[in-house]
């Protein structure tokens, strides 16, 4: 430890310096008397307390430094020496800025400067003070005055706030970043957008905001589970980052939704190029847990200054354009325009109207006959829901069923369908038509309702419809999520005599080994494979394979979407069992079906 003498030396040295300083600047006060008085008084005090004081000065948690008005280091404590990683000898006789490699320390930003030019106290935050280690300090510079109130130096304390900064960083990360993908989140996006927006406004520049939504993500998440979904999102984030430059922002604002800010564009083409690049990079297959996934996305773009004059509007318009892009096609981008707005308000209207549709009696069922391909007899019908809204007219189920599935409205709607199909078919049977099967489409969400089997049992009981003539059409997603649970539900339905058919077969991701375990009766070849049957040899191969597979598994097979005689002929050659399509019959209401059945009998 540096002893009393050395401490005294410093202090003395310091006071002498101060004396000289005051001399040199022509201080009118009697410097000598002043210095002597200070010196002796101080020494007097130090005689009794210096060891203690010295220890306190050295051991305090903050770095401390005393400089004279010429920036000469008069005192420096052990804590600051340790922080700087230098020996006391290296600090002695130096100017403060020789040892403190502060970024701005010797400029006007230097806190000592401010204090020396008359400001009483300055607090100053400094980062990267030392070359060796990045540290953050709060430096407080306070004027040191003698008993006469004259400025004789500056005392600086260095509070190490590195840890605090680290915590702050972590908190910021929580507030501004998405934990899963490590992309910025909505809050950060909005903040950055506002900055860029202010610049664009001032410089009459251009900005683009993109809203990107993955097309099949919900399906993947629901069927393959969240851990695959999460991996997928991380991978998507990585890919998006390869397209978006540093000065722009890509953020994840929820689920499978991403927003992108392009702040340096000069025209719409540039935004379109970026959108295309984003769509392309997402289309490359993803390999996760030995599965290969091919994704597509929809992008909506809005441009400042054309599409809005405030943050909220511009972001909202990009969202609307995305919604419209999604509706048009998969893997699509769309710029906002005035028709988007109209379309979007429709979307919200739709959900609101859908909530009231049952009460208002706006649904009705149509039935599309299914035929035995060999005999040409009607063997059953598929019940297909129709929605006729007073204001909006007829709305296609391809439009409102996904919406109903997203909002759980599918549960009451599905119940209504089953109830209506059973009671209408019962009425036909009561009219003594030969019985035909009715196929009712089931959403997986309905099946997962805890009281689903109960509900089915109640409905067949209430309507008196024989469940042996009831069939449920389920999609392949049944084979992937909650597999064992689904099997147990299907078995309970089968015990009631209900048939199960696997709809849209060939479009899902299910593996055959799973399918084999499902208690199903029929495979339904998706109409996508039927549509190009006569022209596309690969579709021909697919339908043929599905038909053979069904027969190997002792299942019936039905093809849907038959529109031409060539398609029908082809399916006949391939030995398909049943057919359904516009060529044979369009979906029709009960009274038309009655007529149709009459003409057959």
240 vs 568, which CB is nearer to ligand C2E?
Answer: 568
Q: What Cα–Cα distance (Å) separates residue 71 from each residue in 15, 21, 95, 113?
A: 14, 11, 5, 9
Burial readout 283-309 (b: 16 or more C-beta within 10 A, e: otherwise): eeebebeeeebebebbbbbbbbeebbe
Which one of the spans 2-10, 328-336, 360-368, 468-476 is the region binding Ca ion (CB under 5 A)? 468-476
Q: What Cα–Cα distance (Å) separates residue 52 from each residue in 47, 58, 167, 353, 502?
A: 11, 10, 35, 82, 88
CB of 559 to Ca ion, least distance (A): 10
69 vs 508, which CB is nearer to Ca ion?
Answer: 508
CB of 501 to Ca ion, least distance (A): 8
Q: If DSSP codes are grouped into helix, strand and coil, which group holds residue 583?
A: coil
Burial readout 415-430 (b: 16 or more C-beta within 10 A, e: otherwise): bebbbbbbebbbebbe
Q: Are 435 and 465 in contact (CB under 8 A)?
A: no
368 vs 539, which CB is nearer to ligand C2E?
Answer: 368
CB of 434 to Ca ion, least distance (A): 23
Q: Which residues bind ligand C2E (CB under 6 A)?
A: 368, 383-385, 396-398, 401, 414, 417, 441, 443, 473, 503-504, 527, 560-563, 581-582, 587
38 vs 473, which CB is nearer to ligand C2E?
Answer: 473
- Structural tokens at position 237: 């984030």
Phi-psi region of 124 (alpha: psi -120 to 50; beta: other; left: phi over 0): beta
485 vs 582, which CB is nearer to ligand C2E?
Answer: 582
Q: Does 213 bind Ca ion (CB under 5 A)?
A: no
91 vs 425, which CB is nearer to ligand C2E?
Answer: 425
Q: If DSSP codes are grouped into helix, strand and coil, which group holds residue 261?
A: strand
Q: If DSSP codes are grouped into helix, strand and coil, which group holds residue 585?
A: coil
Greatest pairwise CA separation for the chain in angstroms: 131
Question: Of ligand C2E, Ca ion, none, which one does residue 581 interact with (CB within 5 to 8 Å by kind)?
Answer: ligand C2E
Which member of 405, 471, 503, 577 binds Ca ion (CB under 5 A)? 503
CB of 526 to Ca ion, least distance (A): 6
**Block residue for tokens 């005393």:** 66
Q: Does 476 bind Ca ion (CB under 5 A)?
A: no
Taken in order 461, 467, 471, 476, is the CA torsion positive or negative?
A: positive
152 vs 401, which CB is nearer to ligand C2E?
Answer: 401
CB of 313 to ligand C2E, least distance (A): 34
Q: If DSSP codes are grouped into helix, strand and coil, which group holds residue 175?
A: helix
CB of 524 to Ca ion, least distance (A): 6
405 vs 504, which CB is nearer to Ca ion?
Answer: 504
CB of 583 to ligand C2E, least distance (A): 6
Q: Does 504 bind Ca ion (CB under 5 A)?
A: yes
Question: Of ligand C2E, Ca ion, none, which one does residue 397 interact with (CB within 5 to 8 Å by kind)?
Answer: ligand C2E
Which one of the spans 3-11, 247-255, 346-354, 495-503 is the region binding Ca ion (CB under 5 A)? 495-503
Count Cβ atoms within 10 A of the Cβ of residue 391 and give its class: 0-12 exposed, 13-18 middle, 19 or more buried.
exposed
User: What is the DSSP code string of 190-236?
Assistant: HHHHHHHHHHHHHHT--EEEEEEEESSHHHHHHHH-HHHHHHHHHHH
Which member of 38, 248, 256, 473 binds Ca ion (CB under 5 A)? 473
The phi and psi torsions of 198 (rounded to 5 degrees) equal -60, -40
Which one of the spans 498-506, 544-552, 574-582, 587-595 is the region binding Ca ion (CB under 5 A)? 498-506
183 vs 571, which CB is nearer to ligand C2E?
Answer: 571
CB of 524 to ligand C2E, least distance (A): 8
- Point out which residues bind Ca ion (CB under 5 A): 441, 473, 503-504
């Amino acid at each position: 430890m540096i002893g009393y003498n050395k401490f005294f030396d410093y202090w003395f040295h310091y006071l002498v310096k101060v004396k000289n300083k005051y001399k040199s600047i022509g201080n009118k006060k009697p410097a000598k008397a002043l210095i002597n008085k200070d010196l002796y008084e101080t020494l007097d005090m130090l005689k009794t307390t210096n060891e203690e004081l010295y220890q306190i000065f050295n051991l305090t948690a903050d770095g401390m430094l005393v400089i004279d008005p010429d920036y000469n280091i008069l005192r420096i404590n052990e804590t600051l020496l340790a922080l700087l990683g230098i020996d006391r000898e290296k600090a002695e006789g130096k100017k403060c800025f020789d040892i403190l490699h502060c970024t701005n320390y010797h400029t006007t930003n230097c806190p000592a400067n401010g204090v020396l030019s008359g400001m009483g106290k300055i607090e100053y935050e400094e980062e990267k003070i030392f070359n060796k280690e990045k540290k953050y300090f709060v430096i407080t510079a306070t004027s040191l005055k003698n008993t006469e109130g004259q400025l004789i130096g500056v005392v600086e304390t260095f509070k190490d706030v590195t840890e605090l900064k680290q915590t702050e960083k972590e908190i910021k990360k929580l507030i501004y970043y998405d934990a899963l993908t490590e992309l910025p989140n909505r809050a950060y996006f909005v903040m950055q957008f506002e900055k860029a927006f202010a610049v664009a406004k001032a410089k009459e520049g251009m900005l683009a905001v993109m809203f990107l939504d993955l097309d099949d993500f919900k399906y993947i998440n629901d069927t393959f589970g969240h851990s695959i979904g999460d991996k997928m999102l991380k991978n998507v984030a990585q890919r998006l980052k390869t397209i978006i430059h540093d000065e722009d922002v890509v953020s994840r604002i929820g689920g499978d939704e991403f927003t992108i800010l392009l702040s340096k564009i000069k025209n719409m083409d540039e935004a379109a190029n970026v959108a295309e690049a984003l769509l392309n990079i997402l289309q490359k297959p993803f390999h996760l847990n030995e599965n290969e996934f091919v994704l597509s996305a929809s992008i909506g773009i809005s441009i400042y200054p054309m599409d809005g004059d405030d943050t909220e509007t511009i972001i909202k318009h990009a969202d609307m354009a995305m919604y419209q892009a999604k509706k048009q096609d998969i893997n699509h981008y769309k710029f906002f325009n005035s028709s988007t707005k109209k379309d979007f308000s429709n979307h919200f209207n739709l959900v609101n109207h859908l909530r009231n549709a049952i009460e208002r009696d706006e649904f009705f069922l149509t039935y599309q006959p299914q035929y035995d391909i060999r005999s040409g007899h009607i063997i059953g019908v598929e019940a297909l829901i129709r929605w006729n809204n007073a204001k909006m007219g007829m709305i296609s189920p391809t439009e409102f069923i996904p919406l109903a599935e997203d909002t759980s409205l599918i549960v009451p709607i599905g119940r209504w369908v089953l109830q209506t199909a059973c009671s209408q078919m019962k009425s036909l049977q009561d009219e003594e038509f030969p019985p035909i099967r009715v196929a009712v489409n089931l959403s997986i969400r309905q099946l997962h309702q805890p009281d689903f089997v109960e509900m089915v049992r109640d409905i067949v009981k209430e309507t008196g419809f024989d469940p042996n003539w009831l069939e449920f059409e389920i999609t392949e997603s049944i084979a992937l999520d909650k597999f064992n649970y689904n099997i147990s539900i299907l078995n309970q339905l089968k015990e009631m005599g209900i048939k199960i058919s696997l709809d849209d077969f060939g479009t899902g991701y299910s593996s055959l080994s799973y399918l084999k375990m499902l208690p199903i009766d029929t495979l339904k070849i998706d109409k996508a494979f039927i549509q190009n049957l006569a022209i596309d040899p690969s579709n021909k191969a697919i339908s043929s394979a599905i038909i053979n597979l069904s027969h190997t598994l002792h299942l019936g097979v039905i093809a849907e979407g038959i529109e031409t005689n060539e398609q029908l002929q082809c399916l006949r050659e391939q030995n398909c069992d049943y057919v359904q399509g516009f060529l044979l019959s369009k979906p029709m209401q009960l009274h038309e079906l009655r007529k149709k059945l009459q003409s057959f009998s």
